[in-house]
Amino acid sequence: MNVQPINSYEPPPSAQTPNASSPAPSSVPSYYSQLEVISPTEDETIRDNAGNVQIQVAISPPLRADHRLLLVLDGTQTDVEAVNGVFELSNVDRGTHTAGARAVDRQGNILIESNPATFNLMRVSIDGPTPMPHAAQ
């Protein structure tokens, strides 16, 4: 008995080359569709001598009980956790800062991350410039 070779087909190589700058599609879709900083607004100036700042975020759908919202301050994730979508900060240094948020699961995997918002904190300085004495007239 003679067996004929099986027909086979090899598709030609794809003409598309993957673009290194485009992100790889996620294999698991995120539970959340939106996470954003709603307060302070972009480039807002906050005046507080104690350095107290509230960062308020909005997430959709609402945060699940087994997930947490963590603050990202000046590009670094912190252990500060939001309570009802609000991060309470104290003794923040004066100057320009960025604030964002990350929703994470129990293992610390990032589920969604907001874009950072820039804000400016002004605090009174007791080491200000010495006033010039008034010239005698």
Closest C-alpha to 38, from 2, 85, 71: 85
Q: Which domain holds residue 103?
A: 34-121
Rounded CA gap, 25 and 116, in Å? 22
* Residue 56 confidence (pLDDT): 97
The count of other CB atoms within 10 Å of the CB of residue 81 is 11
Upstream peptide bond of 61 is cis (omega within 30 degrees of 0): yes
* Residue 19 confidence (pLDDT): 44
Residue 49 lies in a domain: yes
Residue 104 lies in a domain: yes
User: Residue 40 maps to which CATH number?
Assistant: 2.60.40.10
Number of domains into which the chain is organized:
1
Cα atoms in the Cβ-side hemisphere of radius 13 Å centred on 110:
12
- Provide the residue-wise pLDDT of the chain in tens; the chain has 137 residues: 676 666 655 666 655 444 444 343 444 457 899 999 999 999 999 999 999 999 999 999 999 999 999 999 999 999 999 999 999 999 999 999 999 999 999 999 999 999 999 999 998 876 655 555 665 55
Structure tokens at 86: 């609000």
Residue 137 lies in a domain: no
Residue 71 lies in a domain: yes
Residue 90 lies in a domain: yes
Residue identified by tokens 């960062």 is 55
